[in-house]
Each structure stands twice: as C-alpha cells, then as structure tokens.
Amino acid sequence: MNSNKVLKLKHYNRSDAYESCLSPSKPIYFGHNILHHLESHVATLNPDKVFIITDTNVAKLYGDTIKAQLLNRPNHLVTFNAGDQNKTLQTIETLAEKVLEAGCSKNSLILNLGGGLAMNLGGMLASLLYRGIRFIHVPTNFIGQTDVVLSNKQGVNTFGGKNLLGMYSSPEFSLVDTSFLQTESKRSKFAGIAESMKNALILKSDFYAYMKKVLKSSINDVDMHELAKKTFEQKLSICKRDPTEKQLGLSLEYGHTIGHAIEILSKGDLLHGEAVYIGMHISAEIALQLGIMNQSDFKEHQAFLKSIKISSKIPKSITMDKILIAIQKDNKKTGSQPAFILLKGLGELHQIGGQLQTMVPKKIIEDCIRPYLS
C-alpha cells in the first residue's frame, strides 16, 4: 500500500474540530494538509504579534513554512536547543527574555510548534508572561499530535524530577496537521506509538485489536493519519471523562513512575515514549509479583509490547540506586512513597478503595527493575 497516495485521496484538506477536555470552547482542529487554515484561526484572536516557540530542529524544517502561513502578521521565530535536558526553568527565562526584547505584549500570542517539549515549555512560558497570555499548539510529531495536545499540563523538570514545576492551562486552539509526520524519524514515531499501546492496554477496547493489527504491518505501510486520529480519539474519550486526571485520567500515567525516572536519568538519550515503554514492562512485572495480574494476562501484556521494535533495556549509565532515588520525585506522589498505576488484567485497572495508585514494597520494585538493567 502506498500510504501517501491514500492520504491524499482520503484525508487531503479535511479538518475535523473537536472540543478540548477542560475548555470545550477551545477547539482542536485535526486533519491532513490543513496548515493553510492557521491564519484564519489566528485572525479570530487578533493578536498584535505572534511568537513561534520551537526547537532548533523543527525551526530548520518548518520555521519558514509557519512564518509564510502567518502572511503579513508581525511574527518572530524564537528557538531553544532540542532535547529534554533543556526542559528547565532556565530555558523558560531565556525564552521570556527573547520575546520581551522583541516586544511581546499582553495581546501577543505564543504559538508552540514541535513536539511535547515545545508545547510544555511554550505553554508554561505563555502562562507566566504578564501572569498569562494566550497560546496555541501546532504539534509536529506523533506523540505531540495524539497525546500532549490533549493535556492541559504545562511544565518543566527540576530537582531531578519530571514536570515538578508547572500549571494547568489551555491553548486557545490547537491545529493538528498529520502531514508534519512525514519528516518524523521512525524511532520517534515508534516512541509515540508506545504511548498509543499504553492506552490500548488500559482500556482494551476495539482499539487494542486495531493496534495489534497495525503492529503487524511495517511502519511504512501504516496510514499514519488514521493511526494518529484513532489514538487521539481514544485518549480524548479518557480525558473527557476525567479532565483533571484524578481518577480514570490518572490511568494515563501507566508506566510513568519508572518511565519518568529513567527518562530524566538518561539526560535526553531516551525519548519519553521509549522510557514509558520500559516502565510498562516493569509495571506488569510488579503486578505479577504482587499477585494482581495473572500469568496469562502477563504473557499477553509482554507479547503485545514486544510487537514493536523498542529496546526494553535501561541504558547502562542508569543504575538501580539512581532509579530508586529518582522515583521518589514522581510528580503524582501523594504520600511519602512513590506509587504505581497497575493493571489487574488487560483493560482492567487495579484499585484499592477506589484509589488507582498502589504503594509497592522496595524489594519488589528492585526485583522487577533488575532484569531490565543493562
């Protein structure tokens, strides 16, 4: 199957508008080759200037394209160095200085262009400038278009922990154009798809069967628009039921307790989705050891994960001791101990007294991490 041909015939120019979770009046436009709608949506906000926040890679690929879309509207491209090690308060301060120097006012608009990093940094920047100015998201990679775009969480890493500083705030609108995915690397697409697999595991709806089918194909044969749209709709259904991620929404953190720890310890070597992928493997081991998940579900869970080519090995530089310290800084911790989202079975969340977070004895955490160390 030639995916490009199919995309042109099936999806070209079509844009669907979805209500976002926290603010239904703030739409998400989703389609293929829909970037030419950007200016008309921006025009409804009537900003005095637009500041495009993006990383150095995406700036090279799409900086000029976006600037051209904004026609004669005053705009500035403001870049930061790519890589999650730059998800810091210092980067926010540097960006703030750059946009203020270029004349950002309370009526300006921040346009976040890129992956999760640009969206989380730019969202936080906008929320802090003048105590909050408007922002929009134009995500360019799979995880950005299917996952981050649906979350209203903005933030940076600090104190050795992921997203420990941040806030909830919503973009005025988001424009998801899956034609951006054509330049995304296979590795990055796979990392994004790992988060789709997580959603498939926690709900085990038709989407699970669909993902199993997709994972049997070569990525070049997969209609990425369709996969992105289905993943997006799947996560939207969870977010709609729990927009502030306190109950069902918290299940989206499956694999993230270990995932976030090894992502930050890898200092940019592991992509977010790759770290979560390892985190899901270890979470299933924990559920098995605690007697929460049975052998047959465990086998199916691990086999499903193995159907994508991502390494389940933790990089060599990351030791057990470092992981045990890093999980103490998990941002969903409510007590003194780090907690885990666990599955009882595929599509079945483990709960105690209505709580999704389970405390796990240190010895079991260590035993379950050990096989995944390099």
Cβ 162 to ligand NAD shortest distance, Å? 6
Q: Residue 101 burial (CB < 10 Å; 0-12/13-18/19+)?
A: exposed
- Name the site residues for ligand NAD (rule: CB under 6 A): 55, 57-58, 61, 82, 84, 87, 114-118, 120, 140-141, 143-144, 147-148, 151, 153, 162-163, 180, 183-184, 188, 271-272
Cβ 121 to ligand NAD shortest distance, Å? 9
Half-sphere exposure of 353 (CA within 13 A, CB side): 1
Cβ 167 to ligand NAD shortest distance, Å? 11
The residue among 140 and 266 lying less far from ligand NAD, judged by its C-beta, is 140
First-residue to last-residue Cα distance in the chain: 38
The residue among 14 and 60 lying less far from ligand NAD, judged by its C-beta, is 60
Buried b (16+ CB within 10 A) or exposed e, 106-139: eebbbbbbbbbbbbbbbbbbbbbbeeebbbbbbb
Ramachandran quadrant class, 46 (left: phi over 0; alpha: psi -120 to 50; beta: rest) = left
The residue among 49 and 87 lying less far from ligand NAD, judged by its C-beta, is 87
Measured CA angle at 208 (ends 266, 146), to 5 deg: 55
Cβ 144 to ligand NAD shortest distance, Å? 5
Q: Are 25 and 172 in contact (CB under 8 A)?
A: no
Cβ 366 to ligand NAD shortest distance, Å? 25
Nearest residue (beta carbon) to ligand NAD: 116
The residue among 91 and 151 lying less far from ligand NAD, judged by its C-beta, is 151
The residue among 47 and 161 lying less far from ligand NAD, judged by its C-beta, is 161
